[in-house]
Amino acid sequence: MRWSDFPKWGKWAADWAAQYHAGLRDRPVRAQTKPGEVLAALPAAPPDAAQPIEDVIADFERIVVPGITHWQHPRFFAYFPSNASPAAVLADNLITAMAPQCMLWQTSPAATEMETRMMDWLRQGLGLPDGFAGVIQDSASSATLAAVLVMRERALNWDGNAQGLAGQRPIRIYCSNEVHTSVDRAIWVAGIGAANLVRIPTQGPLRSIDVTALEAQICADLKAGYLPAGIVACVGGTGTGACDDIAATCAIAKKYNLYSHIDAAWAGAAMICPEYRTLWAGVEEADSIVFNPHKWLGTQFDLSAHFVKSPEALTRTLAIQPEYLKTHGADGIINYSEWSVPLGRRFRALKLWFLIRAYGLDGLRGMIRNHVTWAQELAEQIRTLPEFEIVTDPVLSLFTFRWAPERRDADEATLALLAAINDDGRIYLTQTRTAGKLVIRFQAGQFDCTRDDVQTALTVITETAKTLKDA
């Protein structure tokens, strides 16, 4: 295939994408293939000769599409959304066609300078004060790793990268038991060790970190000779939407000179709506914040927004400048590769530019507000159903419930209901555990989701429960 062929097949791809999205409601949400089915359909050895692109496309539709779980399905209510708005997809097509490597200002000035402006647009949209600077990371996991590395270096007087951790006092990082497992991985990769990630109990309806217990643990660790370095707080935890008391948590961090990082990977998008900002009140006191526009805001994976109060702390931890990466004769420029663990960088800012201009902040606010309203309506409807229990009340558009029919173990019944719902194919849900109970998670967040889609969930849940009970 040559560039001269691209207009024909590019048009085919655009038409296919439009038809795919238009017909998603007619497809089962979760892939219906069995383990190994796709692998068996792929030849064991690569071709030596070039093959017609028509054959490749035919096999794409025959092999790949049936094996895809449709994350863009309007009734994808599992995990968190991974949205792909048409405007952002168009931007990504242009990025892919240009294929720039944006590691330095000189390798793509437009990418660097647009990233600076787009992150400031987001900062303003979230209501964060002027003191925050932003960088686009590939995922919240990478942003959290960067924050943990800063915690480590800062606690070690910026000597950990040079000298390693051998012979140092054990570093301690604190979080609740509701944080994402990306925090665990960051601790592993940073060399701090799982034993030094201290999980503090939660309390209250939002399952917030117990700040009294947090402070007591920090004091005990100092007395025992440990080196407290940082706190990772969450806003909208993955399991049940848990939200820590950010103001109180950051106050403790400042009192003991710890670095504070806020993981708002999902819920952060909702903060473009001023009425939801109570969930992270005090966030202006944090040192580092991350949220994923590729979840609820409308840009497709990967694009994570990482805000820091001190870019110098981040670059002091991560920047390496061999001669071949220096930009001579240009002062005051930003090389965002010095703000990230990876050196290579995509032109992700273009997706934000297209998204925000095509829909406006008001359009994005309207989408998020609808999702919250519809999910909370559904939670109240389920609450009235016999044998159903709302286990955790809605946090924005996320809540959990379970099914507890008479003479059946509630965990087993709930898991059976979940399996039957997902086998049905009209909606897709996932499970978690909270307070020892197995529960089903529901969250609304797909870009094209409507109230009718959310109400379909009620139909599927009630019909499936009746079928299981009558069986």
Q: What is the pLDDT of residue 14?
A: 95
DSSP state of 402: E
Instruction: Please report, in angstroms and rounded to a whole number, the separation of the first and last CA atoms in the chain.
Output: 55
> Tens-of-pLDDT digits for all 471 residues of the chain?
899 999 999 999 999 999 999 999 999 999 999 999 999 999 999 999 999 999 999 999 999 999 999 999 999 999 998 999 999 999 999 999 888 888 888 888 889 999 999 999 999 999 999 999 999 999 999 999 999 999 999 999 999 999 999 889 999 999 998 988 889 999 999 999 999 999 999 999 999 999 999 999 999 999 999 999 999 999 999 999 999 999 999 999 999 999 999 999 999 999 999 999 999 999 999 999 999 999 999 999 999 999 999 999 998 999 876 544 555 445 678 889 889 998 889 889 999 999 999 999 999 999 999 999 999 999 999 999 999 999 999 999 999 999 999 888 999 999 999 999 999 999 999 999 998 999 999 999 999 999 999 999 999 999 999 999 887
Contact (Cβ atoms closer than 8 angstroms) between residue 210 and residue 200: yes
HSE value, Cβ hemisphere, 13 Å, CA-based, for 326 = 6
Amino acid at 143: A
Helical segments of 164-284, H only: 181-189, 211-224, 246-255
Q: In this structure, are strands 388-395 and 398-403 parallel, antiparallel, or unpaired?
A: antiparallel
Residue pLDDT, tens place only, 5-50: 999 999 999 999 999 999 999 999 999 999 999 999 999 999 999 9
CA dist., res. 37 & res. 34, Å (int): 6
CA dist., res. 78 & res. 267, Å (int): 15
Tokens for 307, please give them.
């805000």
CA dist., res. 453 & res. 457, Å (int): 7
DSSP state of 428: B
Q: What is the pLDDT of residue 319?
A: 85
- Asked if omega into 244 is within 30° of 0 (cis), the reply is no
Q: What is the pLDDT of residue 31?
A: 92
Contact (Cβ atoms closer than 8 angstroms) between residue 307 and residue 125: no
Question: Quick one: angle between helices 410-424 and 451-470, nearest 10?
Answer: 120
Average pLDDT, the chain: 93
Residue pLDDT, tens place only, 95-143: 998 888 888 888 888 899 999 999 999 999 999 999 999 999 999 999 9
Q: What is the pLDDT of residue 329?
A: 46
Residues 6+ apart with CB under 8 A from 16: none
CA dist., res. 207 & res. 200, Å (int): 11
Which strand (E) or helix (H) includes residue 337? none
CA dist., res. 221 & res. 295, Å (int): 37
Tell me if residue 33 falls in helix, strand or coil: coil
**CATH class as words, domain 101-346:** alpha beta
**Residue 389 neighbours by CB distance under 10 Å:** 16
Q: Domain limits of the chain?
A: 101-346
- The pTM of this model reads 0.92
CA dist., res. 95 & res. 115, Å (int): 14
Q: What is the pLDDT of residue 328?
A: 42
Q: What is the pLDDT of residue 104?
A: 85
What is the spatial order of strands in the sheet that 388-395 belongs to? 388-395, 398-403, 437-443, 430-434
